[in-house]
């Protein structure tokens, strides 16, 4: 049983790191960024569920549901912002979003 | 009464200075003169009580500084040398006040002048009556300040300003030595009171200061530092340059400050500290060498000066040298005697020079005078009395003190005594020469000035003549009258105020030196006077003929042995260069600004600029920084416990700072791209 737990946790960490890498290595679309964020949230969800099962505690699954809703809301708002941004700028390339400099 | 002596001149100064505009010029002048006259009268009583009746007076008024061991009172000590100084200071000051009423009568700022004069007298009295070094220092600095104010009386003249600054600053060099000496005194004796210091002095004779691993005898160091103060104030060789320049002030000022009172303060300090100087043979030798060099230098310089006042100023300098080397021969009583006598005939000479200048519409150049003997017989007789007294003509005042100084030095057992005797005797010759050169050029030679000046020459007014007459009486009789009192064999006039070691007592030996040595200075003086008259009357053409060959020699003496030139070109120039280029440009505006406000602001501005350059505007950079930061803190939090066992926590700060540098170098590269 312990071996399976590590598999699950390892998978979720891998997914999380993939999402993170997607965020800061990404130079193309903002959509990819949103997708990466979704991926990270997904990895966290997986972790919550894994712990919930292995600790035999329901709170982890409750949290996973909350995160699902939050992720949905977040991606909805994010996409809406993206649409507005595209209307104004006409592009969603990440490299072009550098108007605010230090 | 004793406190009234000290504070009456202050009252007079305040009345003339602060209320002068209500009293009016003449009234404040008369008031100040009256106050000084009354002070002089009180000083005579004090002289009778303290000097003749041998009852020294000691007044402790109230504490000034109390700080654990350090305790200074405002207290006044009237002993023999103090009352002699009191008589000298107040009499000359009173006569100068009286003289100035007429001499400065046309000046719109007469009350200010009177106020300064009285203020100066007050500080001089503080100086001579103090019973500790600190209070003496108040007077010392006070007379320095007043000399600045008085030399600078005509403050619109740039020369007067420069001379006053020079007097102040050159004096300040000596004062620095004096204050160092006072610190050494306090370090050694833990007090500045005269009586404690002088009583404890024999105990520390063999003690040393350790200064940069040099072992220096305490008493010698203290004495030499006090002597540095005296060098500044008494215009000894090295710091003498201010005295002739101080002739820029009005003539009564020269008479008061630079003849009778202020310059004597240095000699007074040495005489006052006789119990200290006696214990240091080195310091006494230094006194003797410096004094005799000053006497000789000033006398030779005075030979070829062309300004009436400058000639007298150099003779002052020369006579001060006599006093100092008399102190060096441990005959303080003779130095004091000469100081008192010198005050009278020097004041007489200066005031008479003032009368001549006054009569000639402020012409000071001797080459433009001449032939005044018929026009100004009174001033002529006065200056002859003063000059004869100065050159030590037998039975005049100067004879008794000046010749006994030379005899004492001759009979002294001290090693540089021969040197001092030779220089002193030569200086006596030169003194007579320049005195009679002055008399001849001003009074006896053919008239050389403008005819209009000679047409309006007038005899000395009464208010100016009266002080001259009184001083002339002083110049003739004072020496004879007080000779037995001050120098007489076994006189107990000085009481405990002057101390000399029995093995250095020279007064007895001096009586029994060979007669031809005794009369040598007088003969040389007479010879000098005679040569001067001869040169400037019969052999004038010879002098003109000679001038072609000895031009360099003439310039050398006329330019004061090039002291001023050397000081200006070597010392002054170097310090001005140092002040501007080093301390101002390199240090003040350089290092300090670079590491201080300017550099710091520039550094923080650059830092802030580079920090802000980290915000490139690119999302992925922000996220990368976020990731790095989170990783760092998570790493510290989760692994810190294990890492800290191996790593010193302070290294993290080093790491952080190093990180900054890496970041900045990166941002620079980014900028370059």
Using CB atoms, which residue from B611, B615, B620 is nearest to A26? B620
Question: Taking residues A71-78, what's their average pLDDT?
Answer: 93
CA distances from B262 to A1, B125, B177, B257 (A): 109, 11, 17, 5
DSSP string covering B505-563, please?
--HHHHHTS-HHHHHHHHHHHHHHHHHHHHHHHTSHHHHHHHHTTSHHHHHHHHTGGGH
Residue B201, helix vs strand vs coil: helix
Q: What is the pLDDT of residue B664?
A: 63
What is the per-residue pLDDT across B489-524, written as a single tens digit (0 to 9) for each? 888 888 888 888 888 877 788 888 888 888 898 999
How distant, in Å, are the alpha carbons of B54, B294, B600, B611, B612 from that of B667? 91, 72, 21, 9, 10
When pLDDT is cut at 50, 70 and 90, the band that residue B665 belongs to is low
pLDDT at B312 over 80: yes
Which SS3 state, helix, strand or coil, does residue B448 take?
Answer: coil
**What gap in Å lies between CA A44 and CA A12, rounded to an integer?**
7
pLDDT of residue B320: 93
- Residues of B within 8 A of A26 (CB-CB) are 620
Per residue in B187-197, pLDDT tens?
Answer: 999 999 999 99
> What's the mean pLDDT in B305-325?
92
* A13 CB within 8 Å of a chain B CB: no
Cβ-based contacts of B614 with chain A (< 8 Å): 102
The per-residue pLDDT for B564 is: 87
List the single residue in A97, A101, A102 with the smallest CB-CB distance to B619. A97
B606 to chain A nearest CA, in Å?
13
Which one of A24, A26, A100 has the shortest CB-CB distance to B617? A100
Three-class secondary structure assignment of B22-62: HHCHHHHHHHHHHHHHHHHHHHHHHHHHHHHCCCCEEEEEE
Residue B673 has pLDDT above 50, yes or no: no
Report residue B610's pLDDT band, with 50, 70 and 90 as the boundaries: confident
pLDDT given at position A90: 87
* CATH, domain range A1-89: 1.10.287.3510
Mean pLDDT of the region B555-561: 85
From B515, B305, B297, B332, select the one nearest B424 (Cα to Cα): B297
Kindly report which listed range (B59-68, B117-126, B313-322) carries the lowest average pLDDT score: B59-68
Does A33 contact B at CB distance below 8 Å? yes
pLDDT at B540: 76
Residue B47: name the closest of B98, B93, B95, B89 by CA: B89
Q: Give the tens place of pLDDT for each residue, A59-74.
A: 999 999 999 999 999 9
Of A20, A97, A102, the CB nearest to B627: A20
Residue B669 has pLDDT above 70, yes or no: no
Q: Which residue, B181, B283, B291, B185, is CA-closest to B225?
A: B181
With CB atoms and an 8 Å threshold, state whether B611 touches A94.
no
pLDDT in tens, B106-125: 888 999 999 999 999 999 99
d(CA B655, CA B657): 5
A69 in reach of chain B (CB within 8 A): no
Helix (H, G, I), strand (E, B) or coil at B63: strand
pLDDT at position A84 is 92
Nearest CA in chain A to B616: A101
What is the C-alpha separation between B448 and B442, in angstroms, rounded?
9
Provide the residue ranges of all domains of chain B, joining segments of one domain with +.
280-490+519-529, 614-673
Whether A97 has its CB under 8 Å from any CB of chain B: the answer is yes
Select the residue of B615, B620, B627 nearest A94 (Cβ to Cβ): B620
CB < 8 Å to B620, chain A: 23-27, 94
CA atoms of B370 and B447, how far apart (whole Å): 4
Consecutive H or E run containing B255: helix B251-255
Chain B interface includes A20 (CB < 8 A): yes
Taking CA B498 as the corner, what is the angle to CA B55 and CA B189, rounded to the nearest 5 degrees?
100
**pLDDT confidence tier of residue B661, bands split at 50, 70 and 90:** confident
Q: Report residue B141 as tokens.
A: 């600095």
Chain A neighbours among B 589-618 (CB < 8 Å)? 611-618
Residues B175 and B242 sit within 8 Å (Cβ to Cβ): no
Interface size between A and B, measured as CB pairs under 8 A: 34
B628 touches chain A (CB under 8 A): no
Q: How close, in Å, is residue B646 to chain A by CA atoms?
A: 29
Show residues of chain B in contact with A20, CB under 8 Å.
Answer: 627
B619 interaction partners in chain A (CB closer than 8 Å): 33, 94, 97
Residues in chain B closer than 8 A to A33 (CB atoms): 619
Helix (H, G, I), strand (E, B) or coil at A29: strand
Q: Considering only CB atoms, which chain A residues are within 8 Å of B615? A: 100-102
Query: Which among B607, B612, B618, B667 is the top mutation candidate for probing chain A, defined by the most A β-carbons within 10 Å of its own β-carbon?
Result: B618
Q: How far apart are the CA of B607 and the nearest CA of chain A, in angstroms?
A: 13
A5-21 per-position pLDDT tens digit: 888 889 999 999 999 88
pLDDT digits (tens, 9 = 90+) for B433-460: 999 999 999 998 888 888 888 888 888 8
Give CA–CA dist B655/B658, Å, rounded. Answer: 5
Between positions 427 and 486 of B, the ones with CB within 8 A of A are none
Helix/strand/coil for B588: helix
| pLDDT value for B666 | 54
Report d(CA B196, CA A29) in Å as an integer: 96
Q: Is B548 on the interface with A (CB under 8 A)?
A: no
**What pLDDT sits at residue B211?**
83
What is the phi-psi region of residue B56: left when phi exceeds 0, alpha when psi lies from -120 to 50, beta otherwise? beta
Q: Which of B615, B623, B627 sits opposite A102 (nearest CB)?
A: B615
Both tokens assigned to B380: 């002529």
Report yes or no: A82 at the B interface, CB cutoff 8 Å. Answer: no
Query: What integer pLDDT is reported at residue B668 of this predicted model?
Result: 54
pLDDT in tens, B322-379: 999 999 998 899 999 999 999 999 999 999 999 999 888 888 888 888 888 888 899 9
Phi-psi group of B490: left, alpha or beta (phi > 0 → left; psi -120 to 50 → alpha; rest → beta): left
Q: Determine the Cα–Cα distance for residues A16 and A64; give it in Å rounded to an integer.
A: 15
Both tokens of residue B660?
A: 């900054």
B620 → closest Cβ in A27, A99, A102 = A27
* Angstrom distances, CA of residue B427 to CA of B223, B297, B299, B319: 26, 8, 5, 9
Contact A35, A15 (CB under 8 A): no
Alpha-carbon distances, residue B461 vs B356, B359, B465 (angstroms): 12, 10, 6
Interchain CB contact of A26 with B (< 8 Å): yes
Average pLDDT of the residues of chain B: 89
- Which residue of B611, B612, B618 is in closest CB contact with A98? B618
Spatial distance between the Cα atoms of B269 and B248, rounded to a whole number of angstroms: 26
Please answer whether residues B467 and B562 qualify as being in contact, where contact means their C-beta atoms are separated by less than 8 angstroms.
no
Probe site for chain B from A89, A95, A102 (most B CB atoms < 10 A): A102
Q: How far is B615 from chain A (nearest CA, A)?
A: 5
State the Cα torsion B472-B473-B476-B477 to the nearest 10°.
Answer: -160
Q: Tell me if residue A59 falls in helix, strand or coil.
A: helix
Higher pLDDT, B506 or B672: B506
DSSP B417-447: HHHHHHHHHHHHHHHHHHHHHHHIIIIIS--
Rounded to an integer, the average pLDDT of B142-162 is: 92
Closest CA to B399 of B519, B263, B315: B519
At A3 the pLDDT is 64
- In a 3-state reduction of DSSP, which class is residue A18? helix
Q: Hey, are the CB atoms on A33 and B616 less than 8 Å from each other?
A: no
Interval B70-81: pLDDT, tens: 889 999 999 999
Confidence of residue B389 (pLDDT cuts 50, 70, 90): very high
Q: Evaluate whether B243 touches B313 at the Cβ level (below 8 Å).
A: yes
CA distances from B576 to B165, B169, B570, B584 (A): 15, 14, 10, 10
- CB-based contact, B187 to chain A, within 8 Å: no
A94 in B contact zone (CB under 8 Å): yes
Check residue B640 and give its pLDDT: 78
Distance to chain A for B668, nearest Cα, Å? 14
**What letters, b where the CB count within 10 A reaches 16 and e where it falls short, cover B444-464?**
bbeeebeeebbeebeebbebb
The nearest alpha carbon in chain A to B622 belongs to A24
Cβ–Cβ of B611/A27 closer than 8 Å?
A: no
């Amino acid at each position: 049983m312990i071996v399976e737990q590590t598999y699950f946790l390892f998978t979720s960490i891998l997914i999380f790191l993939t999402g993170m890498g997607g965020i800061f290595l990404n130079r193309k679309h903002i959509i990819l960024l949103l997708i990466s964020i979704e991926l990270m949230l997904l990895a966290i969800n997986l972790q919550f569920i894994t712990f919930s099962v292995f600790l035999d505690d329901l709170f982890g699954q409750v949290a996973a549901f909350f995160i699902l809703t939050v992720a949905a809301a977040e991606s909805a708002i994010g996409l809406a912002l993206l649409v507005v941004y595209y209307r104004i700028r006409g592009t969603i390339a990440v490299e072009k979003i550098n108007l605010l400099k230090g | 009464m004793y406190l009234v002596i000290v504070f009456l001149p202050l009252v007079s100064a305040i009345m003339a200075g602060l209320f002068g505009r209500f009293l009016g010029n003449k009234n404040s002048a008369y008031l100040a003169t009256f106050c000084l006259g009354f002070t002089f009268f009180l000083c005579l009583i004090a002289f009778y009580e303290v000097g003749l009746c041998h009852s020294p007076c000691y007044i402790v008024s109230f504490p000034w500084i109390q700080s654990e061991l350090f305790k200074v009172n405002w207290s006044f000590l009237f002993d023999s040398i103090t009352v002699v100084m009191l008589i000298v200071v107040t009499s000359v000051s009173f006569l100068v006040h009286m003289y100035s009423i007429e001499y400065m009568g046309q000046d719109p700022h007469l009350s200010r002048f009177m106020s300064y004069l009285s203020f100066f007298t007050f500080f001089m009295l503080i100086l001579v009556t103090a019973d500790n070094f600190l209070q003496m220092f108040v007077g010392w600095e006070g007379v320095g300040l007043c000399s600045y104010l008085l030399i600078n009386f005509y403050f619109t003249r740039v020369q007067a300003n420069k001379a006053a600054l020079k007097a102040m600053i050159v004096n300040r060099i000596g004062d620095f030595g004096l204050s160092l000496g006072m610190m050494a005194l306090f370090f050694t004796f833990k007090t500045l009171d005269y009586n404690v210091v002088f009583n404890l002095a024999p105990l520390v004779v063999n003690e040393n200061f350790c200064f940069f691993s040099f072992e220096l005898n305490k008493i010698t160091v203290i004495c030499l530092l006090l002597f540095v103060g005296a060098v500044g104030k008494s215009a000894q060789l090295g710091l003498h340059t201010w005295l002739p320049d101080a002739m820029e002030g009005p003539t009564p000022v020269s008479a008061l400050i630079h003849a009778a009172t202020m310059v004597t303060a240095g000699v007074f300090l040495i005489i006052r500290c006789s119990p200290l100087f006696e214990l240091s043979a080195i310091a006494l030798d230094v006194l003797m060498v410096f004094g005799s060099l000053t006497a000789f230098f000033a006398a030779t310089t005075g030979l070829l000066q062309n300004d009436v006042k400058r000639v007298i100023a150099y003779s002052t300098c020369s006579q001060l040298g006599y006093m100092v080397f008399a102190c060096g021969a441990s005959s303080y009583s003779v130095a004091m005697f000469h100081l008192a006598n010198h005050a009278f005939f020097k004041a007489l000479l200066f005031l008479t020079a003032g009368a001549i200048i006054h009569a000639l519409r402020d012409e000071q150049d001797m080459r433009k005078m001449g032939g005044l003997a018929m026009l100004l017989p009174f001033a002529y007789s006065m200056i002859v009395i003063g000059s004869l007294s100065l050159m030590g003509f037998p039975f005049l005042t100067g004879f008794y003190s000046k010749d006994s100084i030379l005899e004492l030095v001759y009979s002294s057992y001290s090693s540089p005594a021969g040197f001092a005797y030779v220089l002193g005797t030569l200086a006596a010759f030169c003194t007579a020469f320049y005195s009679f050169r002055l008399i001849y050029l001003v009074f006896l030679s053919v008239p050389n000035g403008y005819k209009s000046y000679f047409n309006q020459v007038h005899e000395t007014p009464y208010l100016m003549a009266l002080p001259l007459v009184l001083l002339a009486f002083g110049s003739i009789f004072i020496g004879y009258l007080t000779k037995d009192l001050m120098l007489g064999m076994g006189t107990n006039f000085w009481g405990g105020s002057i101390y000399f070691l029995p093995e250095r007592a020279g007064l007895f030996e001096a009586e029994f030196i060979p007669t031809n040595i005794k009369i040598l200075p007088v003969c040389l003086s007479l010879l000098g006077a005679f040569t001067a008259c001869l040169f400037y009357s019969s052999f004038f053409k010879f002098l003109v003929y000679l001038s072609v060959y000895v031009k360099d020699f003439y310039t050398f003496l006329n330019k004061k042995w090039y002291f001023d030139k050397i000081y200006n070109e070597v010392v002054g120039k170097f310090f001005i260069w140092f002040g501007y280029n080093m301390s101002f440009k390199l240090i003040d505006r350089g290092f300090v600004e670079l590491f201080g406000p300017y550099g710091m602001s520039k550094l923080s501005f650059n830092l802030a600029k580079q920090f802000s350059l980290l915000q490139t505007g690119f999302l992925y950079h922000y996220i990368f920084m976020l990731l790095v930061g989170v990783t760092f803190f998570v790493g510290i939090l989760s692994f810190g416990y294990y890492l800290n066992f191996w790593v010193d926590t302070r290294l993290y700060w080093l790491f952080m700072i190093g990180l900054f540098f890496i970041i900045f170098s990166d941002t620079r590269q980014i900028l370059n791209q």
